[in-house]
Structure 1
Amino acid sequence: MPPAKKRARKYDPLRTRGAVLTQLGAVREAVEGLDPGQLALPTRREGMTMRELAERVAAAVVAVRQAAERPAQFQQTLPLAEWPLRKAAAFTPVPLDLAAAEADLRALLGDHAGSPLVDTGAGVLPLNEYLVTLAVELVLAADDLSGAVPGLKVPLDRHALAAATRLLADALALKAPGGSTEVRVPPYAVVQCVEGLKHTRGTPPNVVETGPLTWVRLATGRLTWEDAVARAEVSASGERADLSGLLPLRG
């Protein structure tokens, strides 16, 4: 018999919406507190200043409205875990006005209590699943902002970080299917991946464990596997526990 198809992870719609709005509000407040000199500082994203990063956040939020305005009914939907593995759709440049973008997103979500299919530019997703991808963008933005300005610490919403962690972990399992390696990102995600002998009980022969924010950085290229291991930010045991050839999943 063929192996049973793994059930796709579900995300609570209300919790996801609340997390996205909370994380967006934290990013907006941080950006509003920056002076012109700070906005000109470089970020972890190569060639991108703080201002350009903030403009990208505004564009990512506005993209939700744009997607909702081009509904994609009766089209095959993209498995959510595949989204991080696809080439990112280019965001349409917008003015740096995160307050207006946040207000528009709140209004949009108020108008769409359900989850219509929308064309994201990288595939068709239900609106509520598209918001999970926005959570990834916002968590990355908060972390990138915190790393660029001395003393700045943008709060990370727990549910936004959980959504980002789980989506990127599921993407790894999709990219490298198998059961020989267990990747643990407590307290949010555990996935099995990499071809090889699958363990069924007891301690797996190959185990990778790291924290949520470290995992998000690894999966998106903010941190290299070698640096994470050297700093003891990730533990890896077993001959199939080296994930350097699989990361990053998305830039």
Structure 2
Amino acid sequence: MPASRRSVDPRELRESIAELLPWLDGAAEAPSRSRLAVAVRTSLRTLEQLAPGRSVEVRVPPFAAVQCVGGPQHTRGTPPNVVETDPRTWLLLVTERLSWAEALEEGRVEASGSRADLSSWLPLLRFS
């Protein structure tokens, strides 16, 4: 399911993720599916705004996928540049609790294609 194209309010992004920080830090049980979906979709829309383009597809199943990063765009079939991960790993990357290099090394992110490196755009938020 593609994420919405509406602009993201930075406060909305921060609030949707802040409430999940205890879970991301391992100090709380998993959030509801709806709360998790809001945080994932909001953060993916933010990435889409910060890195406009259509050369990389970022997938966080089952919640959303967006196309971003400038360069040649694909029009049919599987795109040549794909990033895919689970919701928790995505939010760990978004909040700098996991680095891009660590996620790749640990096999927590699948990234294929020459443009599928999101390290220039992550993290999206920093919490002190």
* TM norm structure 1: 0.46
- 8 Å Cα contact 1:180-1:206 kept in structure 2: yes
State whether structure 2 residue 21 is matched by structure 1 residue 143.
Answer: no
1 or 2 for the larger relative contact order (CA 8 Å, sep ≥6)? 2
Provide the residue aligned with 1:220 in structure 2: 95
State whether structure 2 residue 109 is matched by structure 1 residue 234.
Answer: yes
Distance in 1 between the 2:23 and 2:5 partners?
A: 31
Shift of 1:201: 0.6
SS in 2 for 1:203: coil
Report the structure number with the largest CA radius of gyration: 1
After superposition, where does 1:92-241 map in structure 2 within 5 Å? Answer: 130=12, 133-146=14-27, 153-241=28-116
1:139 alignment partner AA:
L
SS in 1 for 2:115: coil
As a proportion of its length, which structure holds more helix?
1
Distance in 1 between the 2:122 and 2:15 partners?
A: 20
1:138 alignment partner AA:
E
As a proportion of its length, which structure holds more strand?
2
- 8 Å Cα contact 1:172-1:249 kept in structure 2: yes
* TM norm structure 2: 0.88
Distance in 1 between the 2:5 and 2:46 partners?
A: 14
Give a deviation string over 1:107-163, Cα, whole Å, max 9, x none: xxxxxxxxxxxxxxx6xxxxxxx4x653311112322252xxxxxx52321111110
Distance in 2 between the 1:7 and 1:242 partners?
A: 22
Distance in 1 between the 2:110 and 2:58 partners?
A: 10
Distance in 2 between the 1:137 and 1:184 partners?
A: 22
SS in 2 for 1:242: coil
Give a deviation string over 1:8-57, Cα, whole Å, max 9, x none: 2xxxxxxxxxxxxxxxxxxxxxxxxxxxxxxxxxxxxxxxxxxxxxxxxx
RMSD: 1.7
1:183 alignment partner AA:
V
Shift of 1:82: 4.7
Provide the residue aligned with 1:67 in structure 2: none
